[in-house]
Amino acid sequence: MSETKVFSLADIKQHMSDKSCWLVVHGKVYDVTEFLEEHPGGYDIIVSSTGRDATSDFEEIGHSNSAKKLLEKYLIGEYEGGDSMPPRAPVAGATSRGQDSCRVC
Ligand code: HEM
């Protein structure tokens, strides 16, 4: 078994398209590019869950156990912040250094 790779938010944000598509679910990073075409829910819905924490998107749909098992096939590593990934894309221009608290709210 090779060592677990750890990815930053900046890494993850480079894979937000159908050319290269990573998902973060429960703090783990999945490269689902190859799965996009096969996804029964369509590929655009997955692409729209990239670049942020996709855990609630994935869980709220009520995916079957076989869908959860399928996810394991695409595991490539972990997010450096564990479960602390922003659920929505941070405010435009914010840094990924953890100082992106909202100035408006
Ligand atoms: C790599 C991650 C994912 C895998 C492996 C996956 C797998 C699957 C599978 C196997 C199904 C068929 C039903 C089932 O067995 O539960 C399904 C349906 C569905 N998935 Fe995903 N899914 C993933 C990510 C997502 C994400 C991030 C969303 C975003 C909300 C999503 C939305 C849906 C929807 C809406 C359906 C229902 C499609 C329908 O019945 O019309 N999935 N998915």
62 located within any domain: yes
For residue 27, CA distances in Å to 80, 85, 103 come to: 8, 7, 26
* Range(s) of the domain holding residue 52: 6-79
The CATH number of residue 13's host domain is 3.10.120.10
pLDDT on residue 88:
65
Domain count within the chain: 1
97 located within any domain: no
ipTM value greater than 0.95: no
- Ligand 1 pocket test, pick from 37, 46, 50 with the greatest ligand atom count within 8 Å of Cβ, gives 46
Q: How many Cβ atoms are within 10 Å of 74's Cβ, its own excluded?
A: 18
Ligand 1 atom with least separation from CA of 35: 1
> Cα of 84 to ligand 1 centre, how many Å?
23
87 located within any domain: no
Q: What is the pTM of this model?
A: 0.82
65 located within any domain: yes
Confidence of residue 35 (pLDDT cuts 50, 70, 90): very high
